Amino acid sequence: MGEAGIVTDVVIVGGGPAGILLAHHFRQHGIRHKVLERGKVGQSWRDMRPGMVLLSPGVPGTDWTSLTLQHPIWSYPGVRRPFPTREDFLCYVEAFARDHGVEVVERTDVAGARRTSLVKSGTSAAARPVYAGRFMAGVSPRTNMLGGAL
């Protein structure tokens, strides 16, 4: 099956907030999964303007930014209130992944996907459903969710 030999129940394409949270829930329910990210964790956020301020509040009582309310962004020291910065959010997503044992295979380009296999730079991975956290070139956004017509 190629150099990586990935065999899992679910492949999550994208190590951003959605992919990290989905992996966290899969881990809680014992579902085998792999998270593949083209860059580093939260790469799409890294590509945004430094110092950018999020327009969604991350404070007790009005929290639209945290991945879960059990582990809110505002509980982390140094986070700008009421509106966190891009850097605050990246630190939070990285810490959330680390603290919850979410493993992300970084610097992994995904060339395409099918329901039973994933092609990653010449390597295939056997998995049933595939979730793409972001639009992949050549793949319709409508088919990115579990078991779609990828």
Q: Read off the pTM.
A: 0.76
Rounded to whole angstroms, how far apart are CA atoms 114 and 149? 8
Rounded to whole angstroms, how far apart are CA atoms 7 and 109? 17
For residues 8-21, give the mean pLDDT: 88
For residues 43-58, give the mean pLDDT: 92
Residue 120, pLDDT score: 56
Residue 24, pLDDT score: 94
Lookup result for tokens 């970084």: 106
pLDDT band (50, 70, 90) for residue 62: confident
Decide which of 72 and 118 is more confident.
72
Residue 16, pLDDT score: 92
The angle, 0 to 180 degrees and rounded to 10, between the axes of the packed helices 17-28 and 86-99 is 20
Q: What is the mean pLDDT of the chain?
A: 79
Tens digit of each residue's pLDDT (9 = 90 or more) over 72-100: 999 988 899 999 999 999 999 999 999 99
Residues 6+ apart with CB under 8 A from 24: 67, 68, 96, 100, 102
Residue 130, pLDDT score: 61
Backbone φ and ψ for 89, nearest 5 degrees, come out as -65, -40
